[in-house]
Structures are given as C-alpha cells and as structure tokens.
C-alpha cells in the first residue's frame, strides 16, 4: 500500500563499505540477495521485493549504490562500471558475504554482470532486470545502445540538474508504464534525495560519467556475455523505455544457460510495477528451481 507497509519488518541501516557509508534496506536471514537499482535510483526501487524475498528464506538487501541515495557520493572518482563493482565488493566484504545472489536493474544490472565477470567465485546467481550495459554486434543494436545512453543522460540530467517536484515526477513517469504508480511518496523520496547537499554537488558528474563515452568501454559485448558463467536470468518488460526486448532476448541466448522472462504491462521497473510476478520469478530462480 505504501513504502512503509510494503517493507514493514525490514531494516534501514548503514554499513561502512570499505570507507564508503552505504545505506541499505534489508530483511531476513540466509544467502544474501543484493539488489541494485538504476542511474539516479535508490534502494526504494526494490521496496516491494525485499520482504517477499526475505520470507522465502534469504537475506534480502537493497543497496544505495555509490553516488546514489543516502550512500556516500565522493566527488573525486570516476563513476564508471569498475567503481560500482568495487563498491559492491567492499559492501559484500563489510557484511561478511563471501558469495551473494545479485539482482540488478538498469545500471545495477550492468554492475551485476561486470561483477560476475570480475569475481565469478563470489556470485551465487545473476539476475538482470531491464539491465543496462549490453552492446550487441549488429548495427541496429549498436545504434539503439547509443540512443539509449543519450536519452538516459538527457532525461536524468533534466531531473537532477535543478530538481523540482515536477521534473522528478516527469523522470519517474518516463520509467513507469502505469503512470499512476508514480505516487507522491515516491516523488518526495526521490526529490529529497536529489536535493541532499552531496547529491547537488555530485549527481551531475555521476550522470555524465555513467552515461558518458568513456564508460562505454565497459559495455558487455557478445564475446563478453558468452563468457559469463554465473547462473543467469534476464527479466525484461514489454514497455521498457530503454533497451528493447529484442536485444534482451538475444543477450539471454548469448549467456550460457540463461533464462529469459518478458513481463507484461511494465516499463523500466517491472519489479515494482508487477511485483508479484517478478517476486515469483526471483524466488523460484534463487531457490535453484
């Protein structure tokens, strides 16, 4: 019903992830399931998934990634894929998790894939939900990738450069298939985050770095995708405003053994818009079924 009732019984806490103060929403005990949202996002994007995953016997953790939410936003780093991988690694070290299931949406999906490539022994499974970072060989996909980066940069900049309630709402409505899900509470949460002093100081750089040309060298091309050896599933949505389902399905075919699910009636946040369906898929996959 509201964020509060969606995650009643969960904790909101801060960890020292190797020097970076990191906010999470977490619940449950068991194998860690670490969830990461997209560019300019925050832990609340998984608010409808934390308690259901915890109830299935996992330690469900939604993370504010570095430069995002209430986590530290250092000004003197490059917000490229390796930084997000390093933050995730330091976070896992901080909670004493040798291995974890990774669930990443958008930018978080990119980070999860990169982490699985760099630290395969620490990944129990990999789920990319409307994930960023895929770069297929064909010309159409290459053009789409560039266009998506440009769109994401422009739209995020529009909301974060001089944040107002209306601009933040517009950015969120772009994400959502059902615009009515962009509640006042969601808008206020994001607006409050965007107007934190450190967000005001660093978000411009975060957006420019993540969606900028230099970070494209960390994109996941076909050869790289084929070398992912984690148990993987790709969850997409029929109305995703970024990368098309056509690309996502091909990605799933390239990653050895990967599953592919297309969620109906959802935009960029299927785990929020179609939470029950996605929770069902996640729990089944995490339980190794």
Residues near another protein, by CB under 8 A: 1-5, 8-14, 44, 70, 184-185, 188-189, 192
Read off the DSSP letter of residue 166: H
Residue 2 burial (10 A CB sphere; 0-12, 13-18, 19+): exposed
**Strand pairing partners for 32?**
59
Q: How far is the CB of 19 from another protein (least distance, A)?
A: 19
**Nearest distance in Å: CB 25, another protein:** 9
Shortest distance, position 71 Cβ to another protein, whole Å:
12
Minimum CB–partner distance for residue 70 and another protein (Å): 6
Q: Least distance (Å) from another protein to the CB of residue 252?
A: 34
Kindly tell me the number of DSSP H helices and DSSP E strands found in the chain.
12, 8
> Is 2 or 265 the residue whose CB approaches another protein more closely?
2
Residue 182: CB minimum distance to another protein, A: 14
- C-alpha dihedral (104, 52, 24, 205), degrees to nearest 10: 30
Nearer to another protein, 172 or 225 (CB): 172
Count, residues in the chain:
289
Beta strands in the chain (DSSP E): 11-17, 20-27, 31-36, 58-63, 100-105, 123-129, 232-237, 259-263
In angstroms, give the least distance from the CB of 241 to another protein.
25
Decide if 56 contacts 22 (C-beta within 8 A). Answer: no
Distance CA 289, CA 194 (A): 39
| Closer CB to another protein, 8 or 226, in the complex | 8
The C-alpha torsion from 234 through 266 and 155 to 208, rounded to 10°, is: -20
Nearer residue to another protein within complex by CB, 44 or 86:
44
**Closer to another protein by Cβ: residue 17 or 281:** 17
- Residue placing its CB nearer to another protein in the complex, 3 or 260: 3
CA distance 33 to 25: 12
Comparing CB distances to another protein, the nearer of 28 and 133 is 28
């Amino acid at each position: 019903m509201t964020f509060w009732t969606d995650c009643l019984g969960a904790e909101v806490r801060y960890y020292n992830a190797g020097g970076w103060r990191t906010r999470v929403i977490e619940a449950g005990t068991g194998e860690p399931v670490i969830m990461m949202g997209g560019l300019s996002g925050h832990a609340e994007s998984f608010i409808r998934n934390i308690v259901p995953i915890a109830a299935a016997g996992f330690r469900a953790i939604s993370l504010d990634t570095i430069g995002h939410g209430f986590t530290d936003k250092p000004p003197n780093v490059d917000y490229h894929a390796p930084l997000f991988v390093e933050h995730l690694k330091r976070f896992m070290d901080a909670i004493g998790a040798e291995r974890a299931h990774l669930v990443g949406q958008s930018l978080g999906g990119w980070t999860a894939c990169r982490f699985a490539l760099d630290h395969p022994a620490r990944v129990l499974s990999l789920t990319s939900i409307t994930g960023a970072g895929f770069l297929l060989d064909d010309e159409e996909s290459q053009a789409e990738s560039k266009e998506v980066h440009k769109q994401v940069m422009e739209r995020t900049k529009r909301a974060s450069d001089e944040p107002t309630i209306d601009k933040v709402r517009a950015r969120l409505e772009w994400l959502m298939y059902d615009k009515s899900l962009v509640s006042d509470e969601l808008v206020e949460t994001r607006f409050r985050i965007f107007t934190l002093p450190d967000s005001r100081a660093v978000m411009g750089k975060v957006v420019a770095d993540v969606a900028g040309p230099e970070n494209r060298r960390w994109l996941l091309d076909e050869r790289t995708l084929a070398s992912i050896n984690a148990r993987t599933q790709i969850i997409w949505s029929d109305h995703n405003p970024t990368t098309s389902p056509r690309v996502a399905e091909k990605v799933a075919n390239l990653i050895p053994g990967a599953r592919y699910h297309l969620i109906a009636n959802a935009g960029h946040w299927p785990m929020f818009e179609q939470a029950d369906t996605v929770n069902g898929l996640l729990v089944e996959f995490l339980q190794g079924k």
